[in-house]
Amino acid sequence: MPIDDTPSAEHQLFNTGTLVPFRVLDTQTEIAPDKENLFVRVELMLEDDQDDTDPEALVEWGAFGFLYALTALSFHDARPRGTSAVEFHSEDRFTVADFLEAVSFGCDGLRIETDYVRGRSMKTEVMIRPDGRVTLTTWGRGKRALHWLDRLQGKRRLQAVSSGPAAG
């Protein structure tokens, strides 16, 4: 029996999402009225600084992958809140079915909005407009959205280094 080594739809979408170049235009954070949760809104532009690629062309080939990658990263980092712990499974993955259930298209563009997905408090919304402008909004997620963007741009997370005596 031949082995099918074709990448899954999730893998293909995620790979496409990692290829979409973008620039962060503005970041806003606000403490929620409960003084415990943080609201984050990031304005982005799909563009390549080293290329004359038209943002509309980037949207055309990369919007679905970019949306999927951001949402998959949100799902991966999301944890249960309250009674949602009953549905939470640490090894669970964000699927194309999850994506299709949350994605919509309107006059403003392509949007994905998630609240709770299988026990995970995702609280993430992404809007991609036809001109390449993107708004990423999270609530109750701290500053995790900024880490997802860093990961998509290939940036490494900073790690604390030992302040002890240098090895001789």
Question: Residue 110: which of 123, 129, 134, 135 has the closest Cα?
Answer: 129
Residue-wise pLDDT tens digits, 9-20: 999 999 999 999
Residue 167: is its pLDDT beyond 50? Answer: no
Mean pLDDT of 67-84: 92
Contact criterion met (CB below 8 Å) for 80 and 93: no
Is residue 160 in some structural domain?
no
Q: How many alpha carbons fall within 13 Å on the CB side of residue 16?
A: 18
Is residue 3 in some structural domain?
no
Contact criterion met (CB below 8 Å) for 105 and 113: no
Residue-wise pLDDT tens digits, 17-32: 999 999 999 999 998 7
Contact criterion met (CB below 8 Å) for 94 and 117: yes
Q: Show the tokens assigned to 77.
A: 């980092």
Is residue 28 in some structural domain?
yes
Is residue 158 in some structural domain?
no
Is residue 116 in some structural domain?
yes
Range of the domain at 28: 9-152
Q: Dihedral (C-alpha) 98, 16, 157, 118: value to the nearest 10 degrees?
A: 10
Residue 8: is its pLDDT beyond 50? Answer: yes
CA distance 110 to 20: 15
Is residue 2 in some structural domain?
no
The structural domain count of the chain equals 1
Query: What is the per-residue pLDDT for 163?
Result: 58
Residue 166: is its pLDDT beyond 70? Answer: no
Residue-wise pLDDT tens digits, 37-65: 889 999 999 998 777 778 999 999 999 99
Model pTM?
0.85
Query: What is the per-residue pLDDT for 78?
Result: 93
